[in-house]
Amino acid sequence: MLDHLREDIRTARTTDPAATSTAQVLLYPGLHAVWCHRLAHALHGRGHALAARVFSQLVRLFTGVEIHPGAEVGRRFFIDHGMGVVVGETAVIGDDVTCYHGVTLGGDSPRREKRHPTVEDGVTLGANATLIGPITVGEEATVGAGAVVTEDVPAGATVAGNPARRVDTDGSDPEVAGGTPVEEDLAGVCGPDCPGAEPAD
């Protein structure tokens, strides 16, 4: 546990350019939320579901971050700014994930089943991004600010918009995460003269 705490501090220091000292990082509500979740998750895993839930709700009041005790969170999870982050019960977050304020990992079903996203290692979740359902965001992917994601995101991809569209600029396959291909959509937005646009049908 202590190793995890030290890693979280180092991650905040290296990820946030505004972090000038360890003392400053120790004031971060996102850091408090992650630490408290680790305790709540341990309680939940030992069968103390009610105590874990009460504790997590108190943490929500003080940090503005709500992480269900049942959610699985990996190492070096960094929540920057924190306010408005919601992580549902069956969400799974891998190692080295960065999450900005207002992110929601929400469910799509009232049934007690896997209904929240899985976010794999090294993913970045932009401010106010909303991910819904038992989708998977692949390793090292980036979800842009304000994106609404309802389908899987491939490893290494960058998606943005509502619905989220793949916006990679490295020449990779521009398939859409829950929408139409980028080239076709460009033609509909700014006409066939857009760079890379295909004529609209």
Residue pLDDT, tens place only, 14-42: 999 898 899 999 999 999 999 999 999 99
Q: What is the percent of the chain where pLDDT is above 70?
A: 83
- Rounded to whole angstroms, the Cα distance separating 103 from 98 reads 11
- Quote the mean pLDDT of the chain: 87
CATH number for the domain whose boundaries are 100-192:
2.160.10.10
* Percentage of the chain exceeding pLDDT 90: 74
Over 60: is that where the pLDDT of 183 sits?
Answer: no
The whole-angstrom separation of Cα 112 and Cα 121 is 25
Task: Give the pLDDT score at 189.
Answer: 37
> What are the pLDDT digits (tens) for 73-107?
999 999 999 899 999 999 999 999 999 999 999 99
Q: What is the distance between the alpha carbons of residues 58 and 174, in angstroms, rounded to a whole number?
A: 43
Residue 87's H or E segment, with its range, is strand 86-87
Q: pLDDT tier at 177 (50, 70, 90 boundaries)?
A: low
Would you kindly state where each structural domain of the chain is located, as residue ranges? 1-87, 100-192
Question: What are the CB-based long-range contacts (under 8 Å, 24+) for 161-166?
Answer: none
Would strands 78-79 and 130-132 be described as parallel, antiparallel, or unpaired? unpaired
| Cα 105 from chain centroid (whole Å) | 7
- The whole-model pTM stands at 0.81
Distances (CA, A) of 47 to 43, 44, 52: 7, 5, 9
pLDDT at position 4: 81
pLDDT at 181 over 80: no
Taking CA atoms, 196 is separated from 150, 153, 163, 165, 174, in Å, by: 25, 22, 20, 15, 11
